[in-house]
Amino acid sequence: MDFTDTPEDAEFRAEVRGWLTANAEEKKPGAIYKAKYGEVALIPLSQEWQTKKFKAGFSGITTPLEYGGRGGTQIQQAIYDQEEVNFLVPRHIGSGIPLVIPTLLVYAKEEDKKKFIPEILCSDKLWCQLFSEPSAGSDLGGIRTRSERDGDDWVINGQKIWTSNAQHADLAILVTRSDPDAEKHKGLTYFYVDMKSPGIEVRPIKQISGMANFNEVFLTDVRIPDSQRLGEEGEGWRVAITTLMNERVSSGARPAPDFEDIFGLARDLEIEDGPAIANAAVREKLAHWYIQARGVDLTRMRTLTAMSRGQTPGPENSISKLVSAFKRQEIALFGMDLMDMGGGLMSRETTPMRAVFQEAALEAPSGRIAAGTDEILRNIIGERVLGLPREVRVDKDKPFRDLPTGV
């Protein structure tokens, strides 16, 4: 792929840069946005920024014009993302843009696309993702939340867990077990649901970071009209794969701290034998993370090339997510080590880079679980990218209800 901007792309980049310069503060070395992910204060700031982007035509760049998007290309979206990281802007909240819109575009009815997609793009409505369960996280095919047909409705009973921002969400995408007599990946059905529906209870989970952006969600006799089904009955796994592949695209992005942040810290920090960046061991670490960051960037560009040709994101996204999540944790811990005793401070006012390394060290382990654990991603890479023999499966060709559960 040629990474040089075409004249049209260069013109678009100039348009994006000009708009960002006029509407956001340019990021200085070590600067961090004023509200962090998980803080309630971030939600209205994120919604306000998303509305600005929508009005300017930079929200949903690849979304078709008829649904409120720009109707642009994946390359234009990549250009916008490349430019926006250079400015202090709030992180997007919810699953709407990265996960829900791609799924709706493929499986939703036309009236639902016209209703929901513009609301998501301008952040009028926040969405969450009801997938993981206490006994089915890495193996999503093992979910037990039941959906039973009752006339024109479905009755849902079960529990979901680790749902980000469920306490703030207006709607959710939901995978359920509709046929326990089918094989585990063939008995699933996919819906969207109003989070204010009777029978839905949300319980925030307090995390070690002090935040509570993950939740347990209990569904008790929740009624969902069949009109809110996405895809055919029993084809929920196929729909979920569309969502999951796009999740791994977004999870492979580069939240702070990344190479630029640890490089800036090493450049500015004095250790016992002089500037940290002059230390050979530190420079070796920096070189390692730079290579990883460039590898992730190039892998994502390969994905963008495939998506620009109308292809579904493939297993290569597992590489980006696996490397990025582990790299972030390594960088966070190394940054704290460089600060010596200061590495144990959590005050945003007194700690370098407003404690971004300390906060990331507490949050990063969850990033190695979300959108597929390290172990699951390595299996995917081994089997679907490298072509290694598949892992032995003892649950194939058996009804779900006959599988051992362990509980």
Catalytic residue of the set 83, 247, 359, 363: 247
pLDDT at 252: 45
Euclidean distance between CA atoms 383 and 390, whole angstroms:
6
**Predicted local distance difference test score (pLDDT) of residue 29:** 64
On the question of a common fold for 7-93 and 127-239, the answer reads: no
Predicted local confidence at residue 3, as pLDDT: 62
Strands (E), 83-139: 87-88, 127-130
Alpha carbons 62 and 85: distance in angstroms, whole number: 19
In this structure, what DSSP letter does residue 168 have? Answer: T
Cβ–Cβ < 8 Å for 101, 117: yes
Where does residue 163 rank: exposed (0-12), middle (13-18), buried (19+ CB within 10 A)? buried
Fold classified for 7-93: Butyryl-Coa Dehydrogenase, subunit A; domain 1 (1.10.540)
Q: pLDDT at position 6, please?
A: 83
Residue indicated by tokens 């809110």: 228
Pairing of strands 188-194, 229-230: antiparallel
Active site residue 391: no
Residue with tokens 């590898």: 295
Q: What is the DSSP letter of 66?
A: G
**Tokens linked to 43:** 């939600």
Alpha carbon of residue 195 to chain centroid: 20
Domain borders along the chain are: 7-93, 127-239, 252-385
Q: Give CA–CA dist 395/398, Å, rounded.
A: 6
Residues 169/128, Cβ–Cβ less than 8 Å: yes
104 by DSSP, 3-state: which?
helix
Strand-strand pairing, 171-177 and 127-130 = parallel
Q: Which distant-in-sequence residues (6+ apart) come within 8 Å of 186 by Cβ?
A: 179, 234, 237
Please count the other Cβ atoms lying within 10 Å of the Cβ belonging to residue 289: 20
Tokens of 358: 């300390």
Distance set, CA 6 to CA 11, 289, 311 (Å): 9, 30, 22
Reported in sequence order, the residue ranges of 249-388 that DSSP labels E, i.e. its strands, are 270-271, 274-275
Architecture of domain 252-385: Up-down Bundle (1.20)
Rounded to whole angstroms, the Cα distance separating 101 from 120 reads: 8
Q: Which residues of the chain have pLDDT under 70?
A: 1-3, 29-31, 247-255, 307-308, 310, 312-313, 352-354, 405-407
> H helices of 26-86, where?
42-56, 74-84
- The CATH architecture that domain 127-239 belongs to is Beta Barrel (2.40)
- Crossing angle (nearest 10°) for helices 317-338 and 259-268: 20
Question: Please, what sign has the CA dihedral across residues 124, 366, 74, 23?
Answer: positive
Number of neighbours of residue 109 by Cβ within 10 angstroms: 13
Q: For the chain, how many helices (H) and strands (E)?
A: 11, 12
Q: Note the pLDDT of residue 250.
A: 54
